[in-house]
Structure 1
Amino acid sequence: MRVFKFGGASVKDAAGVKNLVKVLEHTGVANTLIVVSAMGKTTNALEKVNRSYFNKSKDFSSDIQEVKKYHNEILLELFENERHDIFAAVNKLFDDLMDFYSKNKSPDYNFVYDQTISFGELISTTIISAYLKFVGMDNHWLDVRDYIKTDNYYRSAKVDWDLTFDLISEGVLRTTLNITQGFVGSDQNNFTTTLGREGSDYTAAIFGFCLNAESVTIWKDVPGVLNADPRYFENAILLNQISYTEAIELAFYGASVIHPKTLQPLQRKEIPLKVKSFANPESQGTVVGKGVTLKPMVPCFILKKNQILISLSSLDFSYIVEENISDIFNLLHHYKMKVDVIQNSAISFSVCVDNVYNNLESLLQHLKAKFKVTCHENVSLYTIRHYNQEAIEKIEHNKQVLLKQITPETVQIVAN
């Protein structure tokens, strides 16, 4: 089997959905499973709905109506007749979403997030499945929650691989075109979970692993894997091939084209990962595989914005030793901080973190009980793989460098 993944940008409007059909016409549809994200910026829009819900905002109803209107406009462009069953199916999904909000008793934002944000993927795949049938492409719609089972760590759930493998390998029809949702799973109580933002790539890899796929292809709005994000860096270069190891390094440091968890299951079975342009399916794109070198060999730039740099020193000028570091990491774990860089000296310790769960103030109050604390918010973390001096100077130009760390293959710079 082959596994294809289409991101939100590729299906952001009716033209994108029609282009998805063209891609499938080009590649063929037999023995294929496609994983689809929420359309366009739907996840962001549903996050806004959640904020309105928790804040008891008067905008709650209008925020939901905006999401509904967006999808309805796509439906009206795709289908010639408003009496088509898809209109009722999508309305039913929005009714289910409203029903959850009206009945929910949980104050846990992360639980509510997963139960509601996942509707973006359910709606997009329902629309696309119906449109594929509308144009003559028979397909089988799968509810991914019946196949990917996880723990209940909401918003970043961990996969139960044994159960998931059995459900996918035994339950997926291999001879037809299948369509399912990215980013989503369910726990042992059948509550919806999510795999982390951008987790649709990971979903594709999970299915690829469990189905022993011949390849997994991620269709993007870029020509393939670039050496830099063109939104932030000029003259980005297409990387024609990358090794699993190099791609994992790039993903670990925050390269946005490939999800950090995506490559590990594929590497275990040596399943090639292809990253291709949905606008130009004939183009070569990038192939990630075993034992291939980075081609061409150029510096690779990664930017992570909105980071937080926390610098600690002992109140009595004593050494920062193993016991202190252990306490610090216990607190970082407790407050669910994602650590991107650490650096320590005899009497200081610095860490650059991603405040995903908005626990910064609680963490700082806890740290101040034991340490002198300096905190820089909204800093940027630059990582350069295969750097040279010119690449470093390019990043440091006109910036205040707060932290710099160099190893033989990688330099990381935290700057304002």
Structure 2
Amino acid sequence: MKVFKFGGASVKDAEGIKNVFDLLNKVGAEEVLLVISAMGKTTNALEVVIKNYFEKSSAFHASLQEVRKYHNQILLDLFEDEDHEVFFTVNSHLADLEYFLRSNKSPNYNFVYDQVISYGEIVSTTIVSYYLNEKGLKNNWIDVRNFIKTDTNYRDANVDWEQTQKLISKGIKKKTINITQGFIGSDANNFTTTLGREGSDYTAAIFAYCLSAESVTIWKDVPGVMNADPRYFENAVLLNQISYKEAIELAFYGASVIHPKTLQPLQRKEIPLYVKSFINPLLPGTSVSKGEDLEPKTSCFIVKKNQLLLSLSSIDFSFIMEENISEIFSLFHQYKMKVSLIQNSAISFSVCMEDKFENFNELKAILAKKFKVSYNENVSLYTIRHFTKDAAEMVEKDKVVLLKQISRETMQVVTKE
């Protein structure tokens, strides 16, 4: 089997869905499992719904209607007959969403988030499945929550690999086109969980691993993996080949094309990952597999915006030792802070991190009881793999450098623009 993953940009409107059908006809769709994300900016739109729900905002019903209206327009553009079964099925899913929001009693934001946000993927895959059937590509729609089982760490759930492997091995029909959702799973009580933002790539890797698939292809609106984000760097070049090890390094530092958790299961079974263009599907794209670390050999640039640079120093000028650092990292874990860079001296300790869950103010109050706390918000973290003097100068030009760290292959710079 092959696993194809289509992100939100590839199915953002009727034309995108028609293009998926054309693409499958060009590259072949036999024994393929499709993992599909929510359409366009649906995840963002559902996040607005959740925010309005918790704030009891007067805009709550309007934001819910926006989600309904957006998908209804896509349905009208794809299906001529408004009595088509797909309208009923999609409306049924959205009615389930509204029922949950009316009847929910849980005050747990992360739990509610996962129950609501998942409808983006459920509706998206329903529409694509019906459309492909309509066009003669018969397929099997799968509810991923019956196959990927996780713990109850809502919004960033951990996969129960043993149970997931059993369910996928038994339940997936290999000799057909299967369509399922990215990003979501379910816990032991069958409540929906999510695997973290951009987790659809991870979903594709989970299925590929459990099915011992031939390959995974991530279809994107770019020709493959570039050595830099073209939005921030001029003259970005396409990487033809990346080894698993190098790709894991790039993902760890925040390369946005590949989700950090995606690569480990693929590497274990040496399943190649291809990143290709859904606009030009016959181009070779980028291969992540055994082989050359990087081809062509070039510096790779990764930038993470909206980071937080936190510096802690001891109040009494005593050393910051292992026990202090252990305590600090325990708090980072507790408050779900993602650390990307660490630097320490005798009496100070600095980290560049991401406050994904907006917990910093609570964390800061606790740290301030034991340490002198200073911080910079909205900084940028630049990472250069295989850096050169010219690459470093280019990144630092016209910026205030707050912190710099260099190792054999990697240079990291925290800047204020």
Aligned residue number for residue 249 of structure 1: 249
The alpha carbon displacement at 1:27 in A equals 1.6
SS in 2 for 1:154: coil
TM-score between the two structures when normalised by the length of structure 1: 0.99
1:177: how far off? 0.3
Using structure 2 for the length normalisation, give the TM-score: 0.99
Q: How much does 1:379 deviate?
A: 0.8
Amino acid at match of 1:46: L
Structure-1 separation of matches of 2:42 and 2:390: 40
Helix, strand or coil for the counterpart of 1:401? strand
Secondary structure of the structure 2 residue equivalent to 1:197: coil
C-alpha separation between the residues in 2 aligned to 1:222 and 1:30? 25
CA distance in 2, matches of 1:293, 1:406: 20
1-structure distance, mates of 2:348, 2:310: 11
State which drifts further: 229-238 or 343-352.
229-238
Equivalent residue, structure 1, for 2:263: 263
Correspondence for 1:85: 85
Q: Counterparts of 1:78 and 1:10 in 2: how far apart (Å)?
A: 15
SS in 2 for 1:398: coil
Q: CA deviation at 1:292?
A: 2.2
Q: Moved runs in structure 1, 4+ residues, more than 4 A?
A: none
2:167 matched to 1:173? no
Partner of 2:404: 404
1:312 corresponds to: 312
Residue 99 (structure 2) aligns with: 99
Instruction: Give the 3-state SS of the residue equivalent to 1:323 in structure 2.
Output: helix
Pair 1:333 & 2:333 matched: yes
Residue of structure 1 equivalent to 2:70: 70
Residue 203 (1) aligns with residue 203 (2): yes
> What secondary structure is seen at the aligned counterpart in 2 of 1:234?
coil
State the 1:145 CA deviation.
0.1
Report the Cα distance in structure 1 between the residues aligned to 2:205 and 2:241, rounded to whole angstroms: 18
Aligned length: 416
For 1:368, the equivalent position in structure 2 comes to: 368
Secondary structure of the 1:97 match is helix
Tell me which residue corresponds to 2:127: 127
Question: SS of the counterpart of 2:295?
Answer: coil
Q: CA deviation at 1:35?
A: 0.2
- Counting only pairs closer than 5 Å after superposition, residues 12-411 of structure 1 correspond to structure 2 as 12-411=12-411
SS at match of 1:231: coil
Shift of 1:327: 1.2
Unaligned runs of at least 5 residues, structure 1:
none
SS of 1:185's equivalent in the other structure is strand
Amino acid at match of 1:104: N
2: CA distance, partners of 1:293 / 1:345: 33
Give the aligned CA root-mean-square deviation in angstroms: 0.7
Maintained 8 Å contact 2:245/2:293? no
Tell whether the 8 Å contact from 2:27 to 2:282 is kept in structure 1 after alignment: no
C-alpha distance after superposition, 1:45-87 (max 9, x if no partner): 0001100001100000000111111111111111111111111
Q: After superposition, what is the alpha-carbon deviation per residue over 1:149-207, rounded to whole angstroms, capped at 9, x for unaligned?
A: 00000000000000000100110000000000000000000000000000000000000
State the Cα deviation string for residues 302-344 of structure 1 (Å, max 9, x = none): 1111111110110011111111111111111111111111100
Structure 2, gaps ≥5 residues long: none
Whole-angstrom distance in 2 between the partners of 1:322 and 1:30 = 55
Q: Secondary structure at the match of 1:198?
A: coil
